Amino acid sequence: MISIQLAIMIPFIAALMIPFLHKKLPRIHVGWFVLIIPTVLFIALTRFIPSIAEGKTYLNTVQWIPSYGINFTTYVDGISIIFGLLITGIGSLVILYSIYYLSAKESLHHFYSYLLLFMGSMLGVVFSDNLMVLYVFWELTSISSFLLIAFWYHRKKSRYGAQKALLITFGGGIAMLTSFIMIYLMTDTMSVREILSVIDPNHTLFIPALVLLLIGAFTKSAQFPFHIWLPDAMEAPTPVSAYLHSATMVKAGIYLVARFTPVFGSNEIWFWLVSCIGLITLFWGSFNAIRQIDLKALLAYSTISQLGLIMSLFGIGSIAHQLGAGENAILYTQASFAALFHLVNHSTFKGALFMVVGIVDHGVGTRDIRRLGGLMSFMPISFTIALIGSFSMAGLPPFNGFLSKEMFFEAVVNVSQSNLFTLHTFGLLFPIIAWIASVLTFVYCMIIVFKTFLGPHQPEKLEHEAHEAKIGMLIPPIILAVLIIGIFIFPNLLGDYLLRPGLASIFPSLGGMYKPISIWHGFTPALWMTIGVIVVGILIFRIQSRRKSLYFPPGKWTFDQLYNSTLEQIELRGFKITELYMTGSLRDYLVYIFLFFGIAVGGVFLLTDAFHLDLSSNAPISLYELLIVFTMMVAGIAIIFAKSRITSILLNGVLGYSIALLFVLFRAPDLALTQLVVETVTTALFLLCFYFLPKREKENSMQKTKRVNIVVSILVGVIFVSVALSAQSGKLFESISAYFENAYELAGANNIVNAILGDFRAFDTMLEVIVLFIGGIGVYTLIKLRAKKEDENVENQ
């Protein structure tokens, strides 16, 4: 079988090769090359299914940073294989769809590079067993999704949607990283598998880690109130929406909850947060979906709603960790089983619907429901796919969504009858909220079908004449539509080979107990709830149909407005803070740098009691040295009070020449000569430059400036000298100078300084020369560009 590490890295390697293939073979659509990758990976992953169904798991480790316990460890079990098959399987269909959807004029090599980057990142997330490696791939999904959402970067809405998705999901990622660090502190392991057996639920960090982990999961899976990024992300091309926002990226948070349910599921906070946030998201998404006039926006909110449904099921299923083995436990493990089942079902019907909406938009040039209608005659195949996908999402037979929706109703009914977690008080709200949200779900599913494909045709409101899409664009949604019906007919084929092993990964101690999927359960409360959904949903849809517009504007206060106002305030405050220190004055910048140096270094030395003064081993100081140092001190202080530039330059020269005299006294003629030459050239250049500057104007603020200069100078001087003396007094090792004193024998050089620069520091010197060379090239380039620009301006005149 293929190595999982290799399977993860193949999309990354291919992403690097795509631009070269696009350039070398411009006449061949690069999508055909890309299609090979997920198809091969999907086939390779299917080979794991028989052994995974038998209860086997696969663990493989490649060392990365073993000293910190960070290794590229992959783990293949029931949960990861489900997600891996969705990532590669849906990915293959989306790439085939995109070949016909995207124009050849688009930047296809960029698009497919981003898509492969995202695919590899998602595979890394679901197969990683190491917390830090999982986090790296998690953030890579955020970056690659940002690039995909902003693919049409010339559109303002695309840039806005990409930024919004990145900020929210990246913020959640930071929370998740904090949780991972807390988990490591509690367990002393980075392995997700090992955490379960060693974590202490009574640890003080247990609850904070739980909450922060869920924040990361909720942001990625667009749970309330972090859902606001998903509708704006619909500005991405339809293949991106069909892949990221129905089958993969938004499922990453779902995966995280499923993977860590064995770790945190026994705590009631986990149950309340996951199940309640899921139910709120389910209702809020469906409520907003029926308000939309754009088909893609409608599908965005329906995705939010369906993700909430799956999340709530995982929360309900966590009750089984409280019950242990037994008949009652099976009732709640069935909820997690339903979550996995609906996870797969949602990928099929939502992927098909996104593709159909893309076909409609591609064919008639609009997604506005008010302008659509009567397209069934022109797009019979698209209509059939939309009918199958919508009715499956509405939970109607004979489609797979009906089976998982019935299991969802059974789960919320069981919750209402539970005595755990005070559910005997609040449990009744679960089926009520679930039923109301399902009614709204039924309504927006009917809107997709009847408002788009039935009713009067309005050709005058369409940008293009309605027509059916090319067969290549229809094949992927047709395959998904066939799966929708096939799963309904043979549900236990999926259940036995994929869902049961996935359930065993969530409940390892219960052995993956579940009831086989049955199409007919009799006249149960769940069936009566479904019948009620259909009856009430039809009534609401008919009432909505009589309105001239399905849309009514949002209220004054929304989460989007809160997000926008928060960003505006951050930007405004950021500008104000920046204006405080970005004054355009070099003097101010030097003051900031010196103050930071003095406070930071001095503060650390004071806190650690690192100041140490021991002059006993120092050489005696001669009278000449004292005179020269005193002269330098007088010159340095006099510069501050100098009233003319010439005086300042000359006093600065006194400092430089005094240092040269010290080198002479210390018997370093080479250094003395170098210092004299440099100081002479510097002084001459200063005099030349200052000659052309305007005369200084006397200002009242100069006295204040001088006082600040004195304070900063004294602070930096004291800190620097104290650090130097402390370093000299607190030697931990013998000086290396004795080694360099033997320069003649080691390097054959009579001059120790030359030996150090030319032999001992040869590479350092060479790199310094290279830096100067690069800087020279930069200066030369700027001069040439300026000269070229000036020539162009002359020609234009």
Instruction: Say yes or no: 536 and 661 in one domain.
Output: no
Instruction: Say yes or no: 660 and 736 in one domain.
Output: yes
pTM over 0.75: yes
What is the tally of structural domains in the chain?
3
Q: Has residue 653 been placed in a domain?
A: yes
Say if residues 249 and 229 touch (Cβ distance below 8 Å).
no
Instruction: Say yes or no: 662 and 686 in one domain.
Output: yes
Say if residues 320 and 350 touch (Cβ distance below 8 Å).
no
Q: Has residue 238 been placed in a domain?
A: no
Instruction: Say yes or no: 674 and 728 in one domain.
Output: yes
Q: Cα separation of 39 and 46, whole Å?
A: 11
**What kind and span of H or E run contains 76?**
strand 70-76
Structure-token pair, residue 133:
């490696």
Q: Look up residue 644 and give its DSSP letter.
A: S
Q: Has residue 597 been placed in a domain?
A: yes
Structural domain of 673? 587-692+700-762
Instruction: Say yes or no: 445 and 367 in one domain.
Output: yes
Neighbouring CB atoms inside 10 A of 178's CB total 16
Instruction: Say yes or no: 451 and 505 in one domain.
Output: yes
Instruction: Say yes or no: 524 and 576 in one domain.
Output: no
58 - beta bridge partners? 76
* Nearest Cα to Cα of residue 404 among 350, 334, 351, 299: 334
For residue 549, the model assigns a pLDDT of: 46
Give just the sign of the alpha carbon dihedral 686, 692, 698, 701.
Answer: negative
Q: Has residue 221 been placed in a domain?
A: no
Instruction: Say yes or no: 508 and 570 in one domain.
Output: no
Q: Cα separation of 558 and 522, whole Å?
A: 43
Give just the sign of the alpha carbon dihedral 384, 388, 390, 391.
Answer: positive
pLDDT digits (tens, 9 = 90+) for 119-141: 999 999 999 999 999 999 999 99
Q: Has residue 170 been placed in a domain?
A: no
Structure-token pair, residue 711:
């304070």
For residue 554, the model assigns a pLDDT of: 56
Stretches in the chain below the pLDDT threshold 50: 548-551
Q: How far apart are the first and last CA of the chain?
A: 70
65 - beta bridge partners? 70
Q: Has residue 121 been placed in a domain?
A: no
Instruction: Say yes or no: 389 and 295 in one domain.
Output: yes
Q: Has residue 288 been placed in a domain?
A: yes
Say if residues 117 and 37 touch (Cβ distance below 8 Å).
no
Say if residues 449 and 386 touch (Cβ distance below 8 Å).
yes
Say if residues 119 and 88 touch (Cβ distance below 8 Å).
yes
Q: Has residue 752 been placed in a domain?
A: yes
Say if residues 217 and 138 touch (Cβ distance below 8 Å).
no
Residue 328 sits at the vertex; the CA angle it makes with 323 and 332, to the nearest 5 degrees, is 80
Residue 227 sits at the vertex; the CA angle it makes with 225 and 230, to the nearest 5 degrees, is 165
* Nearest Cα to Cα of residue 66 among 165, 252, 169, 190: 190
> Helix 429-446 to helix 380-394 angle, to the nearest 10 degrees?
170
Instruction: Say yes or no: 574 and 597 in one domain.
Output: no
For residue 385, the model assigns a pLDDT of: 96
Q: Is 404 exposed, middle or buried (0-12, 13-18, 19+ CB in 10 A)?
A: buried
Instruction: Say yes or no: 439 and 522 in one domain.
Output: yes
Count of all residues that appear for the chain in the document: 797
Instruction: Say yes or no: 385 and 400 in one domain.
Output: yes
Say if residues 144 and 29 touch (Cβ distance below 8 Å).
no
